Structure 1
Amino acid sequence: MRPIRLLVPGNIRHSSGGNVYNARLVAGLEELGAEVDVISVDGSWPDASADERRRLGIFLGTREPDEGPGQAVLIVDGLVAVGAPDELEYAAKAGRQIWVLVHMPVLESSGPAALEDEANALRAATGVICTSTSAASVLTKRGLPQAQVVLPGVDPAPRAAGSAPPHLAVVAALLPNKDQVLTVEALARIQDLEWTASFVGSDQADPGYAREVRAAIAANGLQERVRLEGELTGEALEVEWARTNLTLLVSRTEAFGMAVTESLAHGIPVLVREGTGAVEALGTAGQAADDGGPRLPGATLPLPAGGNESPDRLAGSLRQWLTDQQVRESWRKTALDARSRLPDWSITARKMLGIMAGTE
C-alpha cells in the first residue's frame, strides 16, 4: 500500500463539513493500515497568491523525481486544487498520482475564470472524487468525463431525548449560504407557539453575516428564545443534540450536509431545502413508504430566494410540525428507524482506498 499525502486548506479554521470529512477519512484510512501524511497548506484558497501556489508545488512534488512504487499518492482538497490548476498540471507531467477531493464544486456565480480554473485542475488529476452525488453531477454536466463518489460516514450516537417545549437546532457556521437569517424570519412568524431554538456554529467564519443574524434576532424580539451557541464540540455538542427535537438545514447550496446525517444518528428528524445536496443526505437511510415513494425522516421544502415566500413557507412547515402530533411522531419514528442504516466512516475509507487502487 503506497503512502498517502493529503493536502488540505490551511485557511478554513472553523468546523466545516470538509474539515470534518478530511479528518474522519484520515482516521479511517489509518485504521485500515494506510500511512497518511496530512499537510495543511497555508494560503487564501482558492484565491491564493503566486508565492502560495509555488509553495503548493513543492508539496505536490513537482521538483521530485518519480520514485515508483514508494512515491506517495496525493489527495488534494478541491478548495486548494481549483486555486492552482497550473501546479496540478506540472505535477501530473512530473508523474505524480493526484486525486482531487471535491467537497463543493465552484459556484456558477464565481464567474468564467474560476470555472475554467476548476476545469483545468480537474483535467490534470489522475481522478476526481466527490463527497456527494450532487457534486459529481454538477461536474459531469460541466464536461468532466467521470467523477467517483465517496459519501461521508457518520459516527454512532446516543438517541436524543428532546425537550419540552420542542427545541429546534441549526448546526452550521453562520454564513450567508447557510441562510440563518431566513430561519430567524420564519421563527418570527410562529411566536404564538411554544418552542426554543439555537444556532450552533462558528460566528467567526463571516463576522459581518453573524452581525446580521444577531440583528435579525433582536429586530424580531427573539433574544429569549433563540440562542447563538457558537461552535460546539465534544460533550457540549452532545448536550445540544440531546435536547433537540428537530434540525434545520436550509442552505442555498449544499453538496451534502453532514449535519443532516449527524442529526439522524441521534434520531432527530431534519427539514432541508429542496434542490440541494442535503436532500441526498436526508434520503441516505430513508425507507420506501407503502405507496413505494420515499419516507423521509423529515421534509424537503422549496424555498425560493428573495421576498416573503420562503420565510412564510418555512414557518408554515414548522407550524404544522409543532401543532400536528401525528406529523411530529411520524418524522421522529422514521428518524429513529434510520439510525441503524446510516453508513459508518470505515465504508468511506475502504471505498477511497479501492478507488485509488483501481478496484472500485
Structure 2
Amino acid sequence: MGEPQPLNQSLYFVLPHDRHLPSGGNVYNEQLMAALRRYGQDVEIMEFSHYRKAILRDQAGFYAVDSLFVEDMKPLLNHNPQRAFSFFILHHLQSLFPPADLDAEQYFETYEKEVLNFFQGFLLTSEYSKKYLLDRGIKAPLMVVEPALSSSVQPAIALNYPLKTLMVANVIERKGILAFLQALSTQVKEEDEFKLHIIGRTDMEPAYYEACLKLVETSELSNKVYFLGEMSHENTLKQYAQHHLFISAARMETFGMAIQEAKAYGLPLLLCKGGNTEQHLTKRGGMLCPNIFKLAGNFIELCRNDALMRELWQSAKAEKNTTNRYTWDQAAAHFLKLFSDFYI
C-alpha cells in the first residue's frame, strides 16, 4: 500500500478555547493534527464562531468538530450545507455519564441524537464508541482511529516501598476520584506503605475537588494522597517511569489514553470497569474491578501483599516487552485512508 495522500481540501479542526490544557481529547487532537501535517495535509484550527459562519455560507471544506460543542451546534441544525462537510470527533458525550436524575437513553434521545444526525461522519477513538453510536441508530460512516503513544518509553524504577501509585485524571466526578478516596479511607491503616499521586486539573469542578481535598486532610490518607495539579503532557509522560502502579477509578472512558500510556511503560493496571477501560487489560497485566469499593480493596491488598504485587509487576513488565508500538503517523495514515474511502 502506498503512502496516503492528503485530502483535496483544507481540514479544519473546530476546537475549544482550552485546547492547550491537559486532557485526553486535547492531546488526541493535537497529535493527530501534527501527524496529518507531516503527510502534507493542510490543517487549520478554527474557532466555533468561524465554523458557524462557514456553515451559514456553505463554505467548502472538511470540518472536524470536537464533541464539546454539542450544545453550540443546536442553532445550526436547520441548515443543510452542500459544500461544507462536517464530521464529529467523539471524545465524550454527556449521555455516557448523564446527570443522576436522568436516564442515559432518554438523555441521548432528548439532547444529543438530533445534533449527531447533523454530521456526515464521525471520528471515533475506540470500537466501544462505534458500537455505542451504532446501537443508537447513527447511520453516517464511523471512522475508528485509536490514539497512539506520544513518546519513547523510559525504563521504570525498581519496585520498592512505599508503593508509588499514580492516577492521571482531571478531578471531576466522572473520574470517580472522590468515591475511590472515600472507599479507601474506610480500609486504610496508618502502617500501609503507599503514596498516591493524582495528576490532573482541579479547576473544572471546584466543589468536587474541595470535597476530595477535605476528605484527604481529615482521614488516614492525609500523608498518603497528594494532588499534583495539572501537568503538561510531556511532564506527565515522565511520571509513569517514576511509579509502581497505575489506578483508574473512572466510571466511563471512551478510550482511556492515560491507561494506554501506563501500560506502555510497564505499570500494572488497577482499573474500575466502565466503557472502553477493560479493553486495555489482560489477565496478566493488572486487575479489573467491578466497582469502586473493590478497587480500593484490591489496592490495599497489593500494598500489604508483597508477593502478589511483585507477581503483577513482573507480568506487566513482560507484557510491555511484547507490545507492538503504534505511532501517530500510523494513526494519521489510517485516518486519511478511511476518510478517502468513505467520502472521496
Instruction: Give the alignment's TM-score, normalised by structure 1.
Output: 0.81
1:105 is displaced (CA, Å) by 2.7
- Equivalences for 1:103-122 in 2 at 5 Å? 103-107=91-95, 109=98, 112=106, 115-122=109-116
> Which runs of at least 4 in structure 1 moved beyond 6 Å after TM superposition?
none
Distance 1:235 1:86, change over 3 A: closer
2:16 alignment counterpart: 9
Q: CA deviation digits over 1:42-62, x for unaligned, max 9?
A: xxxxxxxxxx6xx5411x343
Distance 1:299 1:264 in 2: 12
Partner amino acid, structure 1, of 2:95: L
1:251 is displaced (CA, Å) by 1.0
Q: Which runs of 5+ in 2 are unaligned?
A: 1-6
Partner amino acid, structure 2, of 1:351: H
- Equivalences for 1:76-225 in 2 at 5 Å? 76-81=65-70, 83-87=72-76, 90=79, 92-107=80-95, 109=98, 112=106, 115-145=109-139, 146-155=141-150, 156-162=152-158, 164-188=161-185, 189-191=187-189, 192-225=191-224
Cα contact 1:83–1:117 (8 A) shared by 2:
no
Distance 2:13 2:77 in 1: 14
Partner amino acid, structure 2, of 1:252: R
> What fraction of aligned residue pairs are identical, expressed as a percent?
21
Partner amino acid, structure 2, of 1:299: M
Cα contact 2:58–2:84 (8 A) shared by 1:
no
2:329 alignment counterpart: 346
1:295 alignment counterpart: 283
Give the SS at the match of 2:72: coil
2:64 is aligned with 1:75: yes
Distance 2:17 2:284 in 1: 37
Distance 1:347 1:83 in 2: 32
Cα contact 2:14–2:63 (8 A) shared by 1:
yes
Structure 2 residue aligned with 1:321, among 286, 289, 302?
302
1:46 alignment counterpart: none
Q: CA deviation digits over 1:237-279, x for unaligned, max 9?
A: 3453232111111111221111101111221121111132221
Q: CA RMSD in A?
A: 2.5
Distance 1:338 1:221 in 2: 34
2:8 is aligned with 1:25: no
1:357 is displaced (CA, Å) by 0.8
Distance 1:218 1:23 in 2: 36
Distance 1:206 1:13 in 2: 18
Deviates more, 1:104-113 or 1:18-27: 104-113
Partner amino acid, structure 2, of 1:139: L
Cα contact 1:202–1:230 (8 A) shared by 2:
yes
Q: CA deviation digits over 1:113-156, x for unaligned, max 9?
A: 66444222322222112112222222111111353321111123
Cα contact 2:265–2:320 (8 A) shared by 1:
no
Q: Which runs of 5+ in 1 are unaligned?
A: 42-51, 66-70, 284-293, 304-309
Distance 1:198 1:180, change over 3 A: same
Distance 2:313 2:341 in 1: 41
Distance 2:342 2:85 in 1: 16
Distance 1:238 1:95 in 2: 41
Q: CA deviation digits over 1:80-139, x for unaligned, max 9?
A: 14531452552x433322111111133163554664442223222221121122222221
2:3 alignment counterpart: none
Distance 1:158 1:247 in 2: 16
